[in-house]
A and B are shown apart, each in its own frame.
Chain A
Amino acid sequence: MSEKRSAYRLPPCPAYDVEGMESWLSDLSAEGLELERDGFFLGIASFRRVETPRRLRYRLEAAPNSGKFLEDDNSTPQQEALELSEALGWEFITRRGDFFIYAAPEDGTRELNTDPRVQALALDMVRKRQKGAIFRCVFWGILYPLLISRIPPALALLYLPTALVILSPILLIWMLAGAIHEARHLKRLRQKLQEGIGLDHGTDWKQRAQRHHIRRGLCAGLWILWVCLLLQFVGLSITEEDHIPLAEYNAEVPFATLEDMTVYPAEHRENSILSSTVREWTTLLAAKNYDWNELGYITGPDGIGFEGTFYVEYHETAAAWLAWLAAQEYHQHDKWDYSPLFHESNYEAIELPELQADLAIAYYNQYHATTVVLQQDNIVMRAVIFPHRSDTPLYSLKDWVRVMDAKLAEAVK
């Protein structure tokens, strides 16, 4: 028998479909394709073509320890297990998922597993690990991204593109459904073995192959799309290509700007670090969003100038409760945001007058910039004013907040 060349195939069933995998591999061996050592990589099986096809028996055996992160991690059984298997005619080939794959000639060699009830015990180890898979889905799918990004969940929904907001839960549900399906399949398999019924090594794998390939293809496509959308979002956040210079922006905005805070004309400029820009976007949960950055210069009649930055984040959300939640998250995020320079929070609350807004909170944030969070009905905004020079002709904070509040009330109407 001489090796000719390699062939590659996509498995027609998941790694945990023991009967399907065994049947498929055996059928392929009869066609002259024998699974190669370490023959799985990124879900693709690699085979060597043999001149004289011979039908081999392939058997999957539950691995006692979990594999690495990748499904195909090519770890091996313990030496004693290898020795026993070889002595009794079985060759270890590779690992896929939670199972080691062995092969032996079709005739003569005793079965790898001769006691279904003992095989059920081995499967218990896989089932125990499976239970953790569902928790891992929740951690990697929800908690970890939130922890890494440090963006509170409601604000994440307002900032993330609609496609990502829709696709993310779909993928998460898909992962969870997959984990649950695997758990149920292994449970059924175990019950069958526990009743003393051996596995069906000749099961018809072709029946479910097409469905499996479609599912895998769709899943891979959705993941690729998700990664592309995420990279695009991150890229735009860094390059700010979607930010429009204020000098080129002529539309009306529904919130008060620096100009509204003073009776004197305000001028926008740029320096090497800051520029005056606005970003507008729409998401599924907020029809209108603005990210307003204004580097303003105001000169009064006696020459006293103002120089400072004015930031507004404004969202017209889909529901009042979402706006309220976002307002709370803005506040809490600033309150617990520790200054890396001073290693402590510089947060300090500021008392406000009576306003029309449903929720109004003012404070000095960690950079001692005056910050106001207002929420009325389905609209929420956070405004931050940071004077670089403080000798001047701006309204007092209370009047400033009243201007913002009045503009907000108009927007709500």
Chain B
Amino acid sequence: MPRKAMELLTESMFYVLMALCREPMCGIDIATFIEKRTGGRIQMGPATLYTILGKFEKEKYIRETEVSGRKRTYQVTEKGAEAYRAELERLRRCLEDAESCMRGGI
């Protein structure tokens, strides 16, 4: 059955949720966290990050907790944490299948 748009998290979306599951952050801190975590492999573009934050807020995956000047701090919601765990589980199974495939030669 095809998955709906928000069920399918892109890599960028996954890492944003990862950052916010760790602790509440503002946008620039999320970008910095992702860059450090991936060793520079993912350098989040500002428009990408801003679109993801807007989409997640609309889908109630995250909520705004603090506004300080132009900075807005976000926190993951239970719905967002659940989506993150589901994606993590999916990726883990993909990895397990791939590794067992490598071992078994199938």
Contact = CB atoms under 8 A, between A and B. Distances in A.
Interface of A: 59, 61, 64, 79-85, 87-88, 90, 102, 110-115, 117-119, 121-122
Contact of A80 (B45, B48, B70): B70
Contact of A84 (B5, B13, B27): B27
Interface of B: 5, 10-13, 27-28, 31, 42-52, 54-55, 70-72
Q: Which 10 A-B pairs have the closest CB atoms?
A: A114-B45, A83-B70, A79-B70, A115-B12, A84-B46, A110-B43, A85-B46, A112-B47, A88-B46, A122-B51
27 contacts: A64-B54, A80-B72, A81-B46, A81-B50, A83-B27, A83-B70, A84-B49, A85-B46, A87-B31, A88-B28, A88-B31, A102-B47, A110-B43, A111-B45, A112-B45, A112-B46, A112-B47, A112-B48, A113-B48, A115-B10, A115-B13, A115-B45, A115-B52, A118-B12, A118-B51, A121-B5, A122-B47
B27 A119 contact: no
Nearest to B67: A80
Given A81-B47, A84-B28, A114-B42, 9 more contacts: A61-B47, A110-B43, A112-B47, A113-B47, A114-B43, A115-B10, A115-B13, A118-B12, A119-B51
A84 B50 contact: yes
B48 A114 contact: yes
Taking chain B's interface residues, is the majority helix, strand, or loop, or is none over half, making it mixed?
helix
Contacts of A88: 28, 31, 45-46
A119 B70 contact: no
B64 to A, nearest CB: 10
A80 to B, nearest CB: 5
Contact of A87 (B5, B28, B48): B28
Nearest to A60: B47
Contacts of B45: 88, 110-115
B15 to A, nearest CB: 10
B48 A119 contact: yes
Contacts of B12: 114-115, 118
Contacts of B10: 115, 117-118
Contacts of A61: 47
A384 B64 CA distance: 70
